Amino acid sequence: MEILLVIAYSSLFVFLIGKYNFFKIEGIPVQWIKVGLILKILAGTGVGFVYTYYYTDRLTADTFKFFDDSRILFNLIFTDPSTFFRLFTGIGSQTPEAIIVSNQMTNWYDTFSPFNDNRTMIRLNTMLRFLSSGYYYVHVVFICFLSLRG
């Protein structure tokens, strides 16, 4: 199923690149942009394979840290929707229930940086789970597409 979703979303995004002016850049043929997206997806897939089969510690692999934590947040929508929305929006996220859940996520708190984008990436991956059925490589396709234009 994951491969089918990757192919379907990749095809959709390649189609959208050709359809919308947003992706047209003066002096660069639209075909190059389509090829660029495909290369980004292949590179992202390669990174996923490297971190799956070579660097197997998912707790230290940036590519999986936020994806894995997003599963915890995403599953809340089915068991505790109120806490899900508190953590997802950040509004009222200091309730005892929300703190318990946020402590389960290994990357929700970033003590190494004054700027914490961890929560943004966890939330982005949580949103993508609604479309990806929780498949990592589908997330790769979406993130490559979202980052295509800068």
Taking only the tens place, the pLDDT of each residue in 70-103 is 999 999 999 999 999 999 999 988 999 999 999 9
Burial 53-74 (b: 16+ CB within 10 A, else e): eeeeeeeebebbbbbbbbebbb
Q: Any bridge partners for residue 25, and if so which?
A: 28
Please give the Cα distance from 132 to 79 (Å, whole number): 20
Provide the pLDDT confidence category of residue 110 given band limits of 50, 70 and 90: confident
Detail the DSSP E strand segments found in 24-73. Answer: none
Q: How confident is the model at residue 22 (pLDDT cuts 50, 70, 90)?
A: confident
Average pLDDT of the residues in 117-142: 96
Query: What is the mean pLDDT of the segment spanning 115-133?
Result: 93
pLDDT for res 135: 98
Q: What is the pLDDT of residues 47-68, one digit of tens each?
A: 999 999 999 888 888 889 999 9
Q: How confident is the model at residue 11 (pLDDT cuts 50, 70, 90)?
A: very high
| Res 149: pLDDT | 76
Residue-averaged pLDDT of the chain? 93
Q: How many CB atoms lie within 10 A of CB 105?
A: 20
Q: What is the pLDDT of residue 114?
A: 66
CA-angle at 70, arms to 102 and 99, nearest 5°? 10
The pLDDT assigned to 25 comes to 86
Q: How many domains does the chain have?
A: 1
Range of the domain at 100: 2-146
Please tell me the predicted confidence (pLDDT) of residue 117.
Answer: 87
CA distance 122 to 68: 8
Q: What is the DSSP string of 106-118?
A: TTSS-SS-SS--H
How far, in Å, CA of 132 to CA of 6, rounded? Answer: 9
Rg (CA), the chain: 17
Residue type, 125: N
